[in-house]
Amino acid sequence: MPTQNVLRLRCYATLVSTLILFFPVTVMGQICNGSFGDPVVNITFGKIGHAEGMAYVPTSGYVYTSSSCPDDGYYTITNATSNCFGNTWFNISSDHTGDGNFMLVNASYQPGDFFLTQVTNLCPNTTYEFSAWIMNVVNRFSILPNITFHIEKPDGTVLAGFQSGDIPVTPAPQWKQYGFLFTTPADNAIIVLRLTNNAPGGIGNDLALDDITFRPCGAKISAMIQGASSDTIDICEGNRTVYTFSGTASNLYQSPVYHWQLSTDSGANWNDIPGATDLVFHPFPVSTHGNYWYRLTVVDASVAGITSCRIASNLLIINVHPKPEVNAGPDRVYVKGFPVTLTATASGENISFNWIPPAYMNDSSILNPTVAPPLDMRYVLFAQSAFGCANQDSVQIKVVQGIFVPTAFTPNGDGKNDYWRIPFLDVGFQAEVNVFNRWGQLVYHVSGAPVEWDGKLNGQPQPTGVYVYVISFRENTLPQMKGTFTLVR
């Protein structure tokens, strides 16, 4: 719709003031009463930054433009459009699936074909569902898009057709799916898909097109998990249960060939399971967490080698959930009279946790409780996910009467008492330790870490003598400690 037609459009009518919010709609000429196979044709017009689709437009009639606001008789391949023709078009921020491009068509003044392509890899004498997603991009009263879909032979013989009818104005950008069923010729001739715009352009009749697919439709095939109440089972990693899958297929398949398939990427790719060619199948137990999708496919033996002929059952899904990740933290030292806070971590799918035993801690249901047991004790952190997957870890609490600071050490490399260490100075106390020589120079410092001085400063051995230490505790969890010790060479 060119800019010069905006005033004409505004004079044509006013926008209806009261509108109902529409959701994506499917408009089908016929309904598949059986089961579908995978799309064997899937025209998406490319991913963002990689436009495709110019080969699908008739050489006469429409002209490609890189503008995201094409004029009458022009089209573009884009992932968005905005601020077109005085905002008489919707601002569209994505294609139908939100991850790629779509075809944007501004209707020519004369009705005619705006999309034409050939399809060669369909299965012979097979029913297919054709579908496409279309949007009326004009946001107010105007000429409405009206599309005829034709499936033809190369000589123009029409095999099937469907009319969309007028595609109405909606209060917000709205993709609608249109489609119908048709049967391919027995000789599997080339199929021509033709989309014709039945209305003139000039004041409206502008549309977006996306996700054109052909899917085989065959007689019903279904699958189930024996003994299960649904088609989805949730288990925990490490579960070695053997399940039994079974399938049933319509007797319309005269010489059926079956094959069970597995997908580990939520249906993006399917792989035949070696040897799984019977109606009953026992999937190998899976213990690694992930989502495992299964289905049964069927095809008549006469076309078993053509993948586009396969029909697939409903999905059977086994979700293997991970156990929670649990770490009760390092073993801790508790100085009697000064409680210690545990430093545990736990993560997983909506987990709950508790400590066992709950004795001598302020709250056994929180991740980092404060504990003050009278004797040495081991605590176990137990965690469980919403799917019942459990894990645990433990921490040892040692109870001491106080912190002993050694009064001497001999860093002479004989392997005996070569380091000045402070037993029971738990890193959880977040102690800051400073050591000074006789002239007040700082020769050693550590904070929140184990104390282990080798008697050197900047790699140089310090002389024999008396040294002063000062130990301070964060947030005054323990009183400050001061004293001396002797370095002996």
- pLDDT of the residue at 267: 93
In tens, the pLDDT along 50-73 reads 666 667 887 677 889 999 999 999
- pLDDT of the residue at 13: 32
Residue 243 in contact with residue 318, Cβ under 8 Å?
A: yes
47 and 75 assigned to the same domain: yes
265 and 330 assigned to the same domain: no
382 and 353 assigned to the same domain: yes
208 and 342 assigned to the same domain: no
316 and 391 assigned to the same domain: no
9 and 81 assigned to the same domain: yes
Query: Backbone dihedral region of 14: left (phi > 0), alpha (psi from -120 to 50 degrees) or beta?
Result: beta
DSSP state of 284: P
Domain containing residue 96: CATH number: 2.60.120.200
Domain containing residue 451: CATH number: 2.60.40
In tens, the pLDDT along 389-398 reads 999 999 999 9
In tens, the pLDDT along 191-202 reads 999 999 998 888
175 and 150 assigned to the same domain: yes
159 and 25 assigned to the same domain: yes
- pTM as predicted: 0.74
200 and 263 assigned to the same domain: no
Task: Grade residue 307 by pLDDT with cuts at 50, 70 and 90.
Answer: confident
Question: Does the structure show a pLDDT above 90 at 304?
Answer: no
- pLDDT of the residue at 187: 81
49 and 149 assigned to the same domain: yes
Question: Domain boundary at 400, 427, 461, which?
Answer: 400
114 closest CA partner among 104, 100, 124: 104
Domain carrying residue 395: 325-400
In tens, the pLDDT along 409-459 reads 999 999 999 999 999 998 888 899 999 999 999 999 999 899 999 999 999
Which residue bears the tokens 């009263």? 141
227 and 198 assigned to the same domain: no
Question: Does the structure show a pLDDT above 80 at 475?
Answer: no
- pLDDT of the residue at 148: 95
> Phi/psi of residue 301, each to 5°?
-60, -30
In tens, the pLDDT along 128-183 reads 999 999 999 999 989 999 999 999 998 889 999 999 999 999 999 999 999 999 98
30-47: average pLDDT: 87
List, in sequence order, the alpha helices (H) in 224-346: none
Distance of CA 135 to the CA centre of its chain: 27
249 bridge partner residues: 221
52 and 152 assigned to the same domain: yes
Looking at residue 376, its amino acid is D
In tens, the pLDDT along 87-102 reads 999 999 999 998 899 9
Domain containing residue 363: CATH number: 2.60.40.10
Question: Domain boundary at 292, 321, 350, which?
Answer: 321
- pLDDT of the residue at 52: 67
Tell me the two tokens of residue 428. Answer: 């959880």
Question: Domain boundary at 344, 371, 400, which?
Answer: 400
Planar angle of CA 319, 321, 325, nearest 5 degrees: 170
DSSP state of 371: E
The length of the chain is 489
Q: How many domains does the chain have?
A: 4
Half-sphere exposure of 63 (CA within 13 A, CB side): 7
**What is the CB neighbour count within 10 angstroms for residue 31?**
11
